Chains A and B, each alone.
Chain A
Amino acid sequence: MKLNQLTLKKAIELLDKKEISLDEIYQDIFKVISEKNKILNVYLSIDNHSLEKAKSQKEKPLKGLPIAVKDNFLTIGLPTTASSKVLEGFMSPYESTVTKRLKENGGVVIGKTNMDAWAHGSSTETSDYGPTLNPRNPKYLPGGSSGGSAAAVASDMAIASIGSETAGSIRQPASWCGVVGLKPTYGRVSRYGVIAMGSSLDSPGPITKTVEDAAIILNYIAGDDKNDGTTSKKPVLDYTKNLKKGVKNLKIGICYLDHPKIKNTQAAEAVKKAGKIFEDLGAKVDFILSSQHLQKNKILTHEYAISVYTIVQRGEVSSNLARYDGIRYGNDRSFFGHEAKNRIILGVFTLSNQAKNQEELVYVYAQKVRHLYVKNFQDLFSKYDLLISPTSPSYALPVGATSGDPMFGELQDMLVEPSSLAGICGISVPCFYDEKTNLYLGLNIMGDYFQEEKILQAAFAFEEATNYNSWIKK
């Protein structure tokens, strides 16, 4: 077995026992990078001195292991572009909180991964540096926007990785690449030093080989940050401690399977089976009906979520990108890609006096509708411990599928948008595998605010009980 194929947990163990060395791990990592990065286009930049850096980190919990980081996290020493030519060559003078915490705990940023430019998209096809290809099958897309980070893990070009999710951007590529992706509760992980997309939605989180690896990474990146006023002061748990607790007696609701676009899909079948598995593990599982209106015991469908999300996110995007005014940074505004321009224009409109619903700004009105989703989840979490659904309606789509469809991302993310708008946490774990294409489906396990421990426990139990994780041989 090659050492780049080790999980984070296993690599830490073996380094602790001195059965392997960092040199060997990095040798295998760089070997696969040199073989595959040109084809898959995973990394935009690579730190060639990472091994030297790693060696000084041996005594720390993450042992100097190589971690891939999405290119919208500011890092000292490697360029940060968010896959946009506007920021070409931008070297940040400061470090994001997430990468700072990783580095302080012995993580080494081996490279920065490709993404949809400015995180606008669900495919990596909007990257100004070309799409990333799905390592499971290069004819297919890896998903996005954290497609590079998911692909880095799936191709063993990193031991673990960091992504960020606004709505689906961690979970959907994790699902498509057959890896684990955790979107923490909004405010659990600091946004400081992450190039802002939708500021009221952005949640950084781990993309890893296993559920346990996600728990390990979350331990080090989560928590209050004096530089981010939207982080929570709630104490950070040791998410690995009770990971094996199981799902006995938990109440789990299955969502969205009655929706016309989901019904009869393989994704629906896979989630139904997942429900059975949880039942066998001792959970109480039932189906939750969808509703287009806020109704007790039913889950709101995504129709409003797409509108609300589009208005809120585009508005925030237009504001957040205003600083790239052509005076500072690498390139001027003509270097914005088509998707970014689209979003800026729509966003400027949603914030302008022209866009009013009666007397109210459309953005503010959308925030009120957004609150219906908060109420809906509050209602459901008063009865259920966890909600499950497909992460994505489908397997990875073929390369080129997204061109000419400006709402592609929204349709792709329709199953995760409601939970993103509410700000709750969710994790995607592989729950089905298609031998013919070598592609995966993901199970989205959602929990209430700051219930990361619970979703990790359920995801871990599912991973143990099934055979869909390509790193866990049974």
Chain B
Amino acid sequence: MDSYQPVIGMEIHVELKTKSKMFCGCQNDPFYAPKPNIYTCPVCLGLPGALPIANKKAIEWTIKLGLALNCRINTLSKFDRKHYFYPDLPKGYQISQYDLPFCFDGYLETSYGKVRIRRIHLEEDTGKLIHKRLPTGEDVSLIDFNRSGVPLIEIVTEPDIKSASQAKEYAKNLYQVIRYLDISDCDMEKGGMRLEANISIKSQNDDELPNYKVELKNINSFRFLEKAIDYEIERQKRILKEGKTPVQETRGYNAEKNITYSQRKKEEAADYRYFPDPDIPPIRISESWLSEIKKTLPEGLEEVFSRWQKDYQLKKEIVQLLFETYKEKEFLDELFSFAKNQEVKVEKLVNYLVHKKSRDLFETDKKMIIDDYKKASTVSFLDEEKLKEIIKKVLKENQKAVLDYKKGKTSAINFLFGQVVKEAKTRLDFNQVSLMIKKLIT
């Protein structure tokens, strides 16, 4: 085995932001609840005799995501019970989907190639365990059921991902699509989006999948995902080079030390005793329902970017910094055509808006935005020589940023521009200044 090839598949959980929970009418707002256990009822507490009623909106959103990810939709779907014991799971089983998920056979593009999506299914989140020491010194475990029963989707890929950077790009693209559809906030800090990667390594020429896999869990940022996978690839390579096989297990990631560590050995597949939940009748997704859902599907992100490129010469890398949801996209569409009518160059307007980083852009009147822009873009007169001097000074004082730029970190230019503006104490034209900076650096 001289040449190694990482084989990576991802499982990503995302909490949907429907108004109510997955199987009851309780408010779905676990992160901002003022107190524990206030958004609860017999159903999400798993009380005796309580029965689940599936949230139609959550089903529609799952299918919507499936359509956005080029999935096929099962015309007949159902919920299944997945059994395991844990104190935050009050029924002793989680309502999930086993063999008939709502969506299957899709893909998401990355710059390294397509990542096939095996399935997207819908399930319920668990409660949250809190381990703490009381003022009395007693150690206790407390359960907060505000999160119990929150709709949770799981997006599972085929093992198509070949590198840590591709995994990161896949996760970021997925995040972008979900945020764009406005079906989840994907708050990774709080656990609203959870990343898991299954990693193994095979020989380049080997067609078969390796006979082991390591599951990486508890990663709460795209950056850590990349780092953790990179670490894991190196670790496994080392083991394989010694002629051994890495242990099949679940590993966590320690960001401080930048290492992965063993959490749980997984020798056999767990027996969750899945069976169709008799409390929830099977769900038929009719042609007409599906076409209703399709109608709510916004213009695809890639189409948006290429349309804007064509109409306004906007670069995807820049304009994507400006918005996340399709509602915001619609706002921009209106703003851009308004700007065009006002004979404002949209490309410049976008640059201006990206740098301004206005928080309430989407609540601002469009005419006001354009007026502000016009004011700001009347750049104060600055002697070109004087400007050159200022730039030289800034470059001298910010050697690291210059170096970064030379290494290919193009965003360093934004930082340098900011420093120049600070020094000049006046508004400046970004394009003009960045062109000068580039000239002076090279």
Q: Which of A's residues lie within 8 Å of B, judged by CB?
A: 72-74, 80, 82, 87, 90, 92-94, 96, 191-196, 199-200, 226-230, 315-316, 318-319, 321-323, 325, 327-328, 348, 351-354, 361, 363-364, 367
Given contacts A319-B93, A321-B92, 8 further A-B contacts (CB under 8 A): A87-B48, A92-B48, A94-B47, A94-B50, A229-B53, A230-B281, A315-B275, A348-B273
Chain A contacts for B87, CB-based, 8 A: 325, 327
Residues 27-56 of B at the A interface (beta carbon under 8 Å): 42, 46-54
Whether B51 lies near A322 (C-beta < 8 A) is no
Taking the nearest CB of chain A, how far is it from the CB of B274, in angstroms? 8
Q: Are B275 and A363 in contact (CB under 8 A)?
A: yes
Residue B112 is within 8 A (CB to CB) of chain A in the complex: no
Cβ B85 vs Cβ A325 within 8 A: yes
Q: Does B91 contact A (CB under 8 A)?
A: yes
The residue on A at minimum CB distance from B46 is A323
Chain B residues lying within 8 Å of A364, measured Cβ to Cβ, are 275-276
- Seen from chain B, the residues whose Cβ lies within 8 Å of a Cβ on chain A are 42, 46-54, 81, 83, 85, 87, 90-93, 269, 271, 273-276, 278-281
The one of A87, A96, A199 in contact with B278, judged by C-beta atoms closer than 8 angstroms, is A199
Other-chain residue from B48, B54, B83 in contact with A229 (beta carbon distance below 8 A): B54
Select from chain A the residue with minimum beta-carbon distance to B87.
A327
Contact A319-B275, Cβ < 8 Å, known A229-B280, A325-B85, A327-B87: yes
Q: Which residue of B lies closest to A74 (CB)?
A: B49
Find chain B residues with CB under 8 A from A193 CB. 42, 49-50
Give, as a whole number of angstroms, the nearest-CB distance from B296 to chain A.
24
Whether A352 lies near B271 (C-beta < 8 A) is: yes
- Which B residues lie within 8 Å of A93 (CB)? 42, 47
Using A199-B278, A229-B279 as known contacts, say yes or no to A191 and B92 having CB atoms under 8 A apart.
Answer: no
Known: A80-B48, A322-B91, A322-B93. A351 touches B83 (CB 8 A): yes
User: B53 — which chain A residues lie within 8 A by C-beta?
Assistant: 226-229
Known A227-B53, A352-B271; contact A316-B278, beta-carbon cutoff 8 A: yes
What residues of A have a CB within 8 angstroms of the CB of B269 in the complex?
A: 353
> What residue in chain A is nearest B86 (Cβ atoms)?
A325
Contact yes or no, B278 A351, CB < 8 A = no
Q: Which residue of A lies closest to B52 (CB)?
A: A229
Q: Is B51 in contact with A319, judged by CB distance below 8 angstroms?
A: no
Contacts of A195 in B (CB 8 A): 48-49
User: Contact: B83 with A319, CB < 8 Å?
Assistant: yes
Whole-angstrom distance between the alpha carbons of A192 and B48 in the complex? 9
Top 5 A-B pairs, shortest CB-CB distance: A322-B92, A200-B278, A351-B273, A199-B278, A193-B49
Question: A351 and B279: CB pair below 8 A?
Answer: no
- The complex places the Cα of A41 from the Cα of B275 at a distance, in Å, of 38
Whether the pair B49, A319 counts as a contact (CB closer than 8 A) is: no
> Which A-chain residue is minimally distant from B143 (CB atoms)?
A327
Residues in chain A near residue B280, CB distance under 8 A? 229
Cα separation A226 to B43 with both chains bound (whole Å): 13
Which A residue's beta carbon lies closest to that of B53?
A229
A94 to B48, CA, bound (A): 10
Quick one: which of B47, B51, B93, B271 contacts A228, CB cutoff 8 A?
Answer: B51
Q: Can you identify 14 A-B contacts, CB atoms within 8 angstroms? A: A94-B50, A193-B42, A196-B279, A200-B278, A229-B52, A230-B51, A315-B275, A318-B273, A319-B93, A319-B273, A322-B93, A352-B273, A353-B269, A364-B275
